[in-house]
C-alpha cells in the first residue's frame, strides 16, 4: 500500500486492461490502484478509459474516468473539479499524455510542431498550474512529468517530439525549485523505447524497428509496467528527498 490515502490523477492513461497491450499511463493506473491510491484517469479515449476503470473497480480499487484534452485550460479546471468532488484533492499528478510523429527538421510542419508543443509542453504546464493549489492546501504532493530519453539524446527524426520533451525536462526543474518550499515535489521520468499502442506501428516498421533495437544495450523494448514502476516510486513517499530529478529507465540507451 505504497500510495495509501493518496488521490492520483494520470493523463493519457486509457489503455490499462490486463491481457491487452497497455500504455504506460494505463499500466500506472492499475499499479497505483493496487498500491492504495484512488485513481483518476484522464484521456480523450473515453471508451478505453472506462474499460480500464471498470477493471480497477472489479479488482477492488477506486477509479474515475475523466474526459480531458490536456491542451485546453478550461477542461483542466473542469477535470480537477470533478476529481476533487468524487475522489478528493489530487496529491499526485502524472503528466503522461503525449503524441509522437516521425519527421525530421525539414519534414516537420508548423501544425505538427505546434501540436507537439500543445499536448506535451503546454499540457504539462497547465496540469502543474492547476493542481498545485490543492496540493498546497493538503500539505504537499508529487508531480511526475513524463519526458523522454529524447530530451537527453538525439535522433535523426522526431524533431517536434524532441523539442516538446526537452521543454518538459527543463520546465520540471523550474517548477521543482518554485514549489519545493511548499512540500510539492516535481520530477521528470525519461522512458526509453517502450512497446505501447502508440509506439507499436513504428517498432513494427521494417526499417525503424531494427534501427531502434540496435540502439538498446539490453536488446529489448521496455514493458509499460517497467516504466510505470518508476512513476510509482516518484509518486510515493519513498522518493521524498527527490525533486527536480531525472529518472531514466531506458535499457542503457543513454549510457552510450
Which tens digits make up the pLDDT trace of 154-198? 999 999 999 999 999 999 999 999 999 999 999 999 999 999 999
Instruction: Calculate the average pLDDT of the chain.
Output: 97
pLDDT at position 119 is 98
Confidence of residue 202 (pLDDT cuts 50, 70, 90): confident
The SS3 assignment for 152 reads coil
Active-site residue identified among 161, 179, 193, 241: 161
Cell reading at 232: 510509482
Q: Which of 60-74, 133-147, 202-216 has the lowest mean pLDDT?
A: 202-216
Angle at 15 between CA 151 and CA 2, to 5 degrees: 75
Distance, in Å, from the CA atom of 12 to the CA atom of 147, rounded to the nearest integer, reads 13
For 60, residues 6+ apart whose C-beta sits below 8 A from its C-beta are none
Helix axes 159-179, 123-138, angle to 10 degrees: 20
pLDDT at position 224 is 97
pLDDT tens profile 98-138: 999 999 999 999 999 999 999 999 999 999 999 999 999 99
The residue-averaged pLDDT of 193-221 equals 92
The residue-averaged pLDDT of 83-107 equals 97
Q: Please indicate whether residue 201 or residue 50 has the higher confidence score (pLDDT).
A: 50
The residue-averaged pLDDT of 223-252 equals 98
Check pLDDT > 90 for residue 208.
no
Distance, in Å, from the CA atom of 122 to the CA atom of 4, rounded to the nearest integer, reads 30
Domains of the chain, each with CATH number or no CATH: 7-194+223-249 (3.40.50.720)
Q: In what order do the strands lie in the sheet with 7-11?
A: 62-67, 38-43, 7-11, 92-95, 141-146, 184-191, 246-249
Does the pTM of the predicted model rise above 0.95? yes
Check pLDDT > 90 for residue 60.
yes
Among the listed residues 185, 221, 189, 225, the one whose alpha carbon sits nearest the alpha carbon of residue 202: 221
Active site residue 241: no
pLDDT at position 185 is 98
Amino acid at each position: 500500500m505504497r500510495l495509501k490515502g493518496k488521490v492520483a490523477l494520470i493523463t493519457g492513461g486509457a489503455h490499462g486492461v490486463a491481457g491487452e497491450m497497455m500504455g504506460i499511463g494505463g499500466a500506472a493506473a492499475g499499479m497505483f490502484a493496487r498500491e492504495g491510491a484512488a485513481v483518476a484517469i484522464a484521456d480523450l479515449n473515453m471508451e478505453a478509459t472506462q474499460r480500464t476503470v471498470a477493471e480497477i473497480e472489479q479488482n477492488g480499487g477506486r477509479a474515475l474516468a475523466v474526459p480531458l484534452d490536456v491542451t485546453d485550460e478550461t477542461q483542466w479546471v473542469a477535470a480537477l473539479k470533478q476529481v476533487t468532488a468524487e475522489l478528493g484533492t489530487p496529491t499526485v499528478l502524472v503528466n503522461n499524455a503525449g503524441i509522437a510523429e516521425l519527421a525530421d527538421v525539414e519534414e516537420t510542419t508548423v501544425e505538427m510542431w505546434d501540436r507537439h508543443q500543445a499536448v506535451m509542453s503546454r499540457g504539462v504546464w497547465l496540469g502543474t498550474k492547476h493542481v498545485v493549489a490543492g496540493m498546497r492546501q493538503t500539505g504537499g504532493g508529487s508531480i511526475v512529468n513524463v519526458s523522454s530519453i529524447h530530451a537527453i539524446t538525439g535522433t535523426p527524426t522526431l524533431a517536434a517530439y524532441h523539442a516538446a520533451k526537452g521543454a518538459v525536462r527543463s520546465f520540471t526543474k523550474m517548477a521543482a525549485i518554485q514549489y519545493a518550499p511548499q512540500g510539492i515535489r516535481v520530477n521528470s521520468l525519461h522512458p526509453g523505447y517502450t512497446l505501447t499502442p502508440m509506439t507499436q506501428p513504428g517498432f513494427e516498421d521494417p526499417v525503424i524497428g531494427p534501427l531502434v533495437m540496435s540502439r538498446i544495450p539490453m536488446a529489448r523494448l521496455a514493458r509499460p509496467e517497467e516504466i510505470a514502476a518508476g512513476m510509482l516510486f516518484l509518486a510515493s513517499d519513498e522518493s521524498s528527498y527527490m525533486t527536480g530529478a531525472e529518472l531514466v529507465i531506458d535499457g542503457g540507451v543513454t549510457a552510450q
